[in-house]
Structure formats: C-alpha cells, structure tokens
C-alpha cells in the first residue's frame, strides 16, 4: 500500500504495522498505534516541523489492514525521529451521548514522549465546538487545529547513555523527602544559579540539598502541561495569571518543556535525564508528583487535544444520566476513567516508562483515591488499579506514595493496598493544632508520633507507610503558618474564596511581617518545634522547599497561579534565617543517626529487649503519668534504643522527648535509666542558636528539667 501523496518528494512506503500503542522506532521506519473503539475512520498525518500547518504526508488507515481489535496501527518507512505527527478521528459528534469525534482536530498521541509548540487556550481551533455559538459544546467546529502548532514529536528516549547510573534504593524508613517545584525553586535571581527555573538549575543546587541532608526530592508535576489555562487576573497588578504548578497534564509521557533550558525540541528529555543521573550520583532519589486523575481538557467546554477526540466515553468518567457532562471527582472539570482496561494499561505503561527509561525512583499520586474507584465512583481499593500498580513487576522497588483523598469527598488514608505509603493529613493537622495550643489534641498527637497505628497497623503496613508533613505545596508555608491567622489570596483574583480556611495557624500578635523581635523569636521557636516533632516521629518525613529558611508566600495558601515573588523561593532568607537552616539540617542528621526514630515495626508498649525499658513509654511532668486530658498541652515520651531494628548495625541511644505547647514553663521529672546510663541534652528549642541544638550533647546533672513555654527538648542516653 501507499499513503496519499502530498508531493513526490514526500512519498512514504506503508505497511500494516502491529498493534502497539504509541510510536515504536524500528529499523527502516516507525510504527504508529492508537486506540479508538467508535471512530469510523482514522487518519495519520506527518509533518516535517511542529509549526507547519500542512502535512508532508497523510494516510487513511484501512479498517481491515490497519486495525486489530480497537487499536489502529500502521508502519511508515523513511520516517525518522524529530518529525511531528498527529491523528484525526472521524466518527459521531453527539455530546449528549458522550461522543465528541471531530476530524478537524489534529490530536496528540497519548503516548507521545515529546510535544512541540505551546498550547494556547485562546486559540479557538483547538476546541471541538464553536465557542461563539450559543449552543456551546453542542455545536461543531470546522476550524482545523493543525494551525495551533501543538503536535506530537517522534522521539527515542532509549538513546540516552546512562553510563553506570545506579538507583540509591533507600528503604522507605530511611528517606527524607524534600518537595520542590522545578521553576519556582531557582527562578529567583538570588538563587545564584546559571540556569534559573530549569532542570539544569536544580542540578546546580545538588550540593545545597546534600548539605541540608535530604536524600529524596519530590518534584511537583513535570508532565507536559499548559501554562495559560486560568482566566484569573491579579486585581492589584492586572497581571494575567497562569497555572504554574502543573496539575493539569496534557498527557502522561511527555516531559514539560516549560523547564527546558534553550529552545531545541526534545532537549527537555535529555536535560531531565541529566538531572536524574546527577542526583543519583550524589545519593539523592527522584520522586515524581504525578497526576493521573484528570487532564488539561477540562469539562465539556474545554479543548479537544487528545483523549476527548480519540474516545471520550472510554478515557473519561461521564455522567450516567447525561453523558454530555463529566464526573468531577478531581475538582478540575473531568475525571480519568481509571477502571477501564485501556486507561489502566496506559497509566501502567506511563509508570513503567518513567522507571525504565527515565530512571525515576518513585511517584507521589495526586488525588490517588480516584484511582481506587470503579466506573460508578465507588471505592474498591484492593480490586482497583492501585493494586495493579503495587503488584507490577517492573515497578518493584519503586516508592509509591498516595494522596489519599479527592475532591469528591473521598478520604481513604490507611485504606490503600499493601505497598503504598500515604500522605498523612491527620499528622499535619494534629501537629499544627498542638503547636498552636489547641485543647484536646495531646492523645491524638501521641498516636501520630507513634506512626499512626490507627491508620496503618493493618494488612502488613508499617510505620513508614505514613508520610508525615507539616506543610506542602498546597497550603501555607511553615513561616506563614506562624505569621498569619487567615489566608490572604486576594492576588489570585478570586476574592479570597479559594484555598482552605482550615490552616490551624497563628500569627502570635501581628498579621504578617513584623520588626518585633519578641514575635520573631517566638515564631522561629515554633518553627523549631514543628521540625523537632516531624523528625522524632515514626514515619516518613517530608519538608516543603524553603521551609528550612522560613520561606514565605505572604499569607497566600493557594499560590498555584503566582509565577512571581509570591511563590518564588527567596534565597536571601537563607542568610536571614540561617539559624533555622542549621537547626533543620541538624535535626535531619539527628534522625538519620538514630535507628530508634526509623523503626520498621509499630510500638508495643512492652519491654522487647529485656533491659527493663518498654519500646515506648509515655510521660507527663511526672514519669509514666502522661496527661491526655482535654486541657493538657504537653507530652513526653521515651523510646528505647535497645530494640533490634532491621538495618541498624548496633543498638541505639534511648531518646526522651518533651513537647510543651502550654503558655507557661513546666518542670518535668526525667525518668531514671538503668545500667548506669545518663541523660544528655541535644535539643532545647527555647534556646538561641547554636545552643538550641548541641553537636556535643550536654549531660543532665539534675533529675528535673524546666521546659519553657512553647518549646521542646530532646535528650539521649549514654553510659
């Protein structure tokens, strides 16, 4: 067979090909494959350049020769990497029945590794309907979207030379995660990197990350995404706002070019691979924040980019009563139909690609509970895609972390299949409330410090399946948590209606910035309390970028659309708050130095080693008399260092911690130690730097220790 000719010099030979999705570069050409169940005809178009409006070649696939089941496929000789292509689907356009085929739309390949051009939502041609028609999405657009310049590009990521790259392969209970955004982390001129806001810029900060002590970075979304899909305008500056966070993927395979240095097509893949290689070489794992719950196509008024035009009723969950509309469990307009086999396979293929060809070490799944729902929206957990991911042999050894809730009201923290770790929102809220001084949280605080056994002590789960955090990209920074009583999102252009009101924050006297040294001192002390609790709790700790030097977003707790000073990391604050940086660095090192803080099993409250000390004991101002009452604001506990902990070469120190969020000083009687051991102070957050953390612990001569108001202490035992 021969394809339809555009000109003599662009004549390609065609053969049947094979039913594999995406592009497969073979000797002599490329195999193309795409899924569609209800398309009546399928056209492949090949372009010399992504910005060309006319194809150099097009071919109408034969229903008999080029279709196996519901996969359309064709092999095209002489095609090479770097060329652009797209699909056109002919079929019914009946939105009220869930069909949105439109042959005028050049569709992206869901499996494309590189996407050329810039997606512009003001370009009318990318919409399947006529935006000026009063019937809205029930109308039909005849505009050809090839002019949008957004096209799939043929690319072979297997050509990268990984040399001797090795995954660090840390155990879950040994990693400390640092969440960062590629652009926002280094785009500020005071970041002092050459390639600001790019993958290369992150590589330039590797020595900083090593100095801080984190051994895993969690990158906010790097799947290809559009920047200008928000209608919001900053009411103060009249700046057009753009969705910089990236939680709106175009597909699940392409690396975003938004963080590429230079303009060369495909360079984003190479630069990302370079970054992974350099991080691995320096002992840092790479975890990707992935979004498989929805796409950038949005609701029924969104553009037709790929999934909607390929097979709308398969890729998305549609309203069963009126398939014109989409189920919106994600809160962004649509919901991926992850219970369908084809969609499951695509997501698994994506994960395998990122592990096998891009060498990433793990994934954090945004709104992951959506992947645990069936086609009717019911939670099915162990019977869902979540279980398939956990059991996949190619993903074995990969870190899997879930955000265990979604926008449809589902909250399934602790209910994920074996093999999953989960963001622990209860840890976040309880610690915030305790440090603020709320009543009635001490008992729950003990549970969170112990690894949240109420959530995770089932079905073979471990304490390290709880991802503990105080702050994340979504909400206040840690400094704002102690500087604002209320959110201040006015710059988002939504009249401060967006973002959560449940911040559990406190400003300690002044809303926002202040020159009052007493307030600043107290705020820094509370930051140190947060870091202390995070690092002495059982589980897997995560830190938000810049919290280690008191980064601020000026009270904005939903800065998704602020690509400016509001969300750019201000590196000048590292000098201003170097005491907090050093304290955080020392607490990270302290945690890494003590196996007792990274247990591989839950506490029992029993003496497991025969030394007369239970694995954990709880205390109040008097030993073994904790006050879990409603009006209690303090808690003390002691962890035995004598237990055998897997991976620990020798017995650890015993560790005694006191947390006092009361407004007055409290005197604690310290438990006595057997076998001639004595207590040594390491941490007292009421002290100024460097006395707040002692690199050379100081012996405690008395049986009592006065723990100042709103402060914490950490002691270790020595003979």
431, two tokens: 């610690």
Query: Which of 268, 289, 300, 403 is the catalytic position?
Result: 403
What distances in angstroms separate CA 394 from CA 116, 350, 365, 390, 618, one per listed residue? 29, 12, 18, 10, 43
Give the CA angle between residues 31, 33, 35 to the nearest 5°: 175
Considering the domain architecture, whether residues 644 and 586 belong to the same structural domain is answered as: no
Evaluated on CA atoms 311, 312, 314, 320, the torsion sign reads: negative
Range of the domain at 40: 14-154
For the domain that residue 120 is a member of, what is the CATH number? 2.60.40.10
Q: Is 403 a catalytic residue?
A: yes
pLDDT tens-digit map of 222-270: 999 998 767 788 888 888 899 999 999 999 999 999 999 998 999 999 9
Considering the domain architecture, whether residues 530 and 619 belong to the same structural domain is answered as: no
Considering the domain architecture, whether residues 142 and 45 belong to the same structural domain is answered as: yes
Inside any domain, residue 137 = yes
Least confident segment among 1-5, 241-245, 507-511, 702-706: 1-5
Considering the domain architecture, whether residues 376 and 460 belong to the same structural domain is answered as: yes
Dump strand ranges (E) for 440-556: 466-469, 540-544
Measured distance CA(716)–CA(53) in Å, rounded: 70
pLDDT tens-digit map of 21-44: 999 999 999 999 999 999 999 999
Considering the domain architecture, whether residues 65 and 147 belong to the same structural domain is answered as: yes
Average pLDDT over residues 572-576: 98
Considering the domain architecture, whether residues 608 and 662 belong to the same structural domain is answered as: yes
Average pLDDT over residues 549-576: 97
pLDDT tens-digit map of 194-226: 999 999 999 999 999 999 999 999 999 999 999
pTM given for the model: 0.96
Inside any domain, residue 211 = yes
How many domains is the chain partitioned into structurally? Answer: 3
Considering the domain architecture, whether residues 499 and 617 belong to the same structural domain is answered as: no
Inside any domain, residue 306 = no
Measured distance CA(570)–CA(567) in Å, rounded: 9
Considering the domain architecture, whether residues 656 and 526 belong to the same structural domain is answered as: no
The band of 377, judged by pLDDT with boundaries at 50, 70 and 90, is confident
Out of 547, 570, 596, pick the residue that ends a domain: 596
Query: Which of 229, 366, 615, 642 is the catalytic position?
Result: 366
Inside any domain, residue 320 = no
Measured distance CA(208)–CA(221) in Å, rounded: 22
The band of 282, judged by pLDDT with boundaries at 50, 70 and 90, is very high
Out of 550, 580, 596, pick the residue that ends a domain: 596
Average pLDDT over residues 604-609: 88
Residue among 71, 139, 70, 141 at smallest CA distance from 105:
141
Inside any domain, residue 309 = no
Considering the domain architecture, whether residues 512 and 607 belong to the same structural domain is answered as: no
pLDDT of the residue at 239: 86
Residue among 114, 84, 119, 111 at smallest CA distance from 269:
114
Considering the domain architecture, whether residues 149 and 186 belong to the same structural domain is answered as: no
**By the 8 A CB rule, do 230 and 242 touch?**
yes
For the domain that residue 665 is a member of, what is the CATH number? 2.60.40.1180
Inside any domain, residue 574 = yes
194, two tokens: 């050459």
pLDDT tens-digit map of 322-334: 999 999 999 999 9
442, two tokens: 């001490």
The band of 432, judged by pLDDT with boundaries at 50, 70 and 90, is very high
Helix ranges, 450-507 (H): 453-456, 478-481
Measured distance CA(278)–CA(266) in Å, rounded: 19
Percent of the chain with pLDDT over 70: 98
Backbone angles phi, psi at 92, to 5 degrees: -65, 135
Considering the domain architecture, whether residues 553 and 684 belong to the same structural domain is answered as: no
**By the 8 A CB rule, do 651 and 716 touch?**
no
Inside any domain, residue 166 = no
Considering the domain architecture, whether residues 145 and 195 belong to the same structural domain is answered as: no
Inside any domain, residue 301 = no
Out of 154, 188, 208, pick the residue that ends a domain: 154
The band of 4, judged by pLDDT with boundaries at 50, 70 and 90, is very low
For the domain that residue 409 is a member of, what is the CATH number? 3.20.20.80
97, two tokens: 């029945």
């Amino acid at each position: 067979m021969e394809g339809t000719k555009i000109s003599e010099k662009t004549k390609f030979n065609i053969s049947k090909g094979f039913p594999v999705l995406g592009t497969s570069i073979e000797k002599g050409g490329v195999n193309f494959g795409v899924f569609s169940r209800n398309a009546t005809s399928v056209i492949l178009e090949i372009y010399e350049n992504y910005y060309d409006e006319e194809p150099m070649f097009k071919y109408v696939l034969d229903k008999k020769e080029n279709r196996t089941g519901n996969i359309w496929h064709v092999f095209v000789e002489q095609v090479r990497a770097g060329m652009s292509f797209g699909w056109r689907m002919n079929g019914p356009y009946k939105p009220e029945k869930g069909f949105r085929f439109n042959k005028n739309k050049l569709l992206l390949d869901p499996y494309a590794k590189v996407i050329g051009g810039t997606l512009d939502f003001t370009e009318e041609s990318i919409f399947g309907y006529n935006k000026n028609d009063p019937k809205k999405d029930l109308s039909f657009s005849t505009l050809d979207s090839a002019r949008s310049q957004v096209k799939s590009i043929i690319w072979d990521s297997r050509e990268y030379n990984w040399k001797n790259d090795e995954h660090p392969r840390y155990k879950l209970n040994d990693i400390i995660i640092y969440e960062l955004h590629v652009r926002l982390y280094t785009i500020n001129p005071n970041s002092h990197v050459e390639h600001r806001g790019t993958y290369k810029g992150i590589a330039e900060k590797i020595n900083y990350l090593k100095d801080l002590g984190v051994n895993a970075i969690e990158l906010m979304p790097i799947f290809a995404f559009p920047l200008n899909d928000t209608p919001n305008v900053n009411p103060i500056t009249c700046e057009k706002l753009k969705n910089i966070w990236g939680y709106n993927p175009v597909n699940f395979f392409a690396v975003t070019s938004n963080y590429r240095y230079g303009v060369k097509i495909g360079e984003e893949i190479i630069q990302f691979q370079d970054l992974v290689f350099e991080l691995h070489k320096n002992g840092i794992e790479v975890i990707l924040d992935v979004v498989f719950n929805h796409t950038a196509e949005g609701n029924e008024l969104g553009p037709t980019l790929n999934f909607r035009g390929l097979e709308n009723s398969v890729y998305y969950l549609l309203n069963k009563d009126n398939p014109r509309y989409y189920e919106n469990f994600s809160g962004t307009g649509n919901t991926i139909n992850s219970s369908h086999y084809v969609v499951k396979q695509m997501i698994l293929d994506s994960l395998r690609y990122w592990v096998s060809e891009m060498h990433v070490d793990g994934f954090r799944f945004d709104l992951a509970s959506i992947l645990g729902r069936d086609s009717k929206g019911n939670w099915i957990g162990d019977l869902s895609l979540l279980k398939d991911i956990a059991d996949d042999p190619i993903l074995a050894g990969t870190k899997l972390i879930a955000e265990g809730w979604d926008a449809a009201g589902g909250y399934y923290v602790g209910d994920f299949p074996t093999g999953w770790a989960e963001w622990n929102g209860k840890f976040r809220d309880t610690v915030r409330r305790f440090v603020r001084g709320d009543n009635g949280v001490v008992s729950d605080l003990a549970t969170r410090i112990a690894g949240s056994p109420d959530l995770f002590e089932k079905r073979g789960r471990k304490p390290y399946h709880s991802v503990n955090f105080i702050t994340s990209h979504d909400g206040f920074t840690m400094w704002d948590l102690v500087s604002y009583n209320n959110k201040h999102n006015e710059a988002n252009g939504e009249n401060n209606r967006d973002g959560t009101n449940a911040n559990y924050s406190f400003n300690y006297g002044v809303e926002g910035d202040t020159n009052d040294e007493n307030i600043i001192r107290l705020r820094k002390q509370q930051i140190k309390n947060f870091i202390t609790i995070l690092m002495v709790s059982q589980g897997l700790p995560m830190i938000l970028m810049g919290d280690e030097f008191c980064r601020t977003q000026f009270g904005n707790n939903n800065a998704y659309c602020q690509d400016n000073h509001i969300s750019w990391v201000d590196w000048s604050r590292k000098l201003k708050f170097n005491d907090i940086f050093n304290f955080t660095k020392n607490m990270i090192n302290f945690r890494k130095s003590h196996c007792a803080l990274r247990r591989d099993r839950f506490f029992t409250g029993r003496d497991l080693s025969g030394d007369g000390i239970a694995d954990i004991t709880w205390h109040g101002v008097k030993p073994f008399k904790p006050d879990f009452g409603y009006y209690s604001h303090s808690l003390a506990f002691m962890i035995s260092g004598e237990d055998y902990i897997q991976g620990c070469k020798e017995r650890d120190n015993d560790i005694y911690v006191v947390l006092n969020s009361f407004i007055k000083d409290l005197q604690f009687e310290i438990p006595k130690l057997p076998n001639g051991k004595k207590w040594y102070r390491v941490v007292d957050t009421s002290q100024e730097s460097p006395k707040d953390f002692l690199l050379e612990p100081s012996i405690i001569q008395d049986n009592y220790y006065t723990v100042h108001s709103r402060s914490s202490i950490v002691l270790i035992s020595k003979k």
